[in-house]
Structure 1
Amino acid sequence: MKIIKVVFVLAFLTSCNFNKTSEEKAMLDVESLNAKEQEFSNVQNNQGELIGTIEFGIHANKDEVQDFEDGIIPWISIEKTKDEINRLIDADKVVITYSEIILIIDYPLNKPVEFIIKSSGKGFTKKQLVLEISKKYHEIYKVEESSAKTKTIPIEKREGIINRNETDGTYGIWGHDIGDLVLSSAEVYKMEDVKIQVLLGIES
């Protein structure tokens, strides 16, 4: 239940002993992960009335500006939100005028989760919303690691593609470490019961 815009980058581990067997395994991993991404993007959502779309972006620093000519990076890191939050564009702008929302997080999760988020004010600024989203993602990844029997393979020990292996914890995370994820947008829906749902545009 999200807006998914996946920029899927596969990085292969190369070495002098990367043989045909390793290559074949890597190709199978790629096919499997691509199928998972396609399956996820085809999920249909029961949405209410769309009442708002929020775009997220940060000001590029001097090292990044060469890759972003307009000086704007059209996303913010999920993992390093606190490091980038001072560069968030329109950080203090109120983007949701409701004090309670249902935040849907389902990517990259086999078992989606809903969080009820409350604001102490009359709504949520872009900064407040981003920090809440980042906080919940960190909680999800922490719980997943502690509850999974199949643990996350460290990057340096991964073979073929370096994407995160699927784990079998509370949420069943697959395909991406939290460091791969960035937030680019969100859509706000008013449901039939007048509750407000927020669906996230996550890129990886």
Structure 2
Amino acid sequence: MNTAPQEFQSPKNLVNIITLNVRATRTVGDDGIIPWINIGRGNEEILNLIDAEEIVIHENEITVFIDYPLANPASFNLFSSIGFSRKLLLIEIREQFLIFSETESLDSSAIDLVALDVYKTNAGKIEITLDIDL
């Protein structure tokens, strides 16, 4: 994991927003769809994730930045020979939040992941930032 702040400074362009829709199992919204995933209930909600296996990022290497709600922003790299599906991204991101829950005293059940913002830097690298609600 890298926490160097200068990495957050590189110019980048938003190229995609990956939405995270889950079939409701506990409460029902207007159409039975919840437009976020709760990190604390991630295992259950990943099973109900709509279009979970769809490859949403075709590159083989990405960097995920997490700033909010961390006291110190952090990043980590992910690698995949076939690209990244919603399910794979959520599994990896949830795993990192579980680690942060231990080291930063975060309550993962209070964190809702709404979307993933996908950026391409001027150097051609793919970076993901998280749209989070507490």
Corresponding residue of 1:127: 87
**1:1-204, aligned counterparts within 5 Å?**
47-61=11-25, 63-65=26-28, 68-119=29-80, 121-145=81-105, 177-204=107-134
Q: Per-residue displacement from partner, 1:51-98 (whole Å, max 9, x unpaired)? A: 11100010012x412xx0211001111122112111001101111111
Instruction: Specify which structure has the higher proportion of helix.
Output: 1
Q: CA deviation at 1:46?
A: 5.3
TM-score, normalisation: structure 1: 0.58
Larger radius of gyration: 1
Distance 1:86 1:48, change over 3 A: same
Distance 1:76 1:47, change over 3 A: farther
**Displaced runs of 4+ in structure 1, greater than 6 A?**
none
- What is the aligned length? 127
Partner-residue secondary structure (3-state), 2:92:
helix
Q: CA RMSD in A?
A: 1.7
Structure 2, unaligned stretches of length 5 or more?
A: 1-7
Paired with 1:82 and 1:47, the residues of 2 have a C-alpha distance of 34
Q: Per-residue displacement from partner, 1:17-61 (whole Å, max 9, x unpaired)? A: xxxxxxxxxxxxxxxxxxxxxxxxxxx975401111100010012
Q: Could you tell me whether the CA contact under 8 Å between 2:11 and 2:122 is conserved in 1?
A: no
Structure 1, unaligned stretches of length 5 or more?
A: 1-43, 146-175
Paired with 1:182 and 1:45, the residues of 2 have a C-alpha distance of 26
Q: Could you tell me whether the CA contact under 8 Å between 1:47 and 1:189 is conserved in 2?
A: no
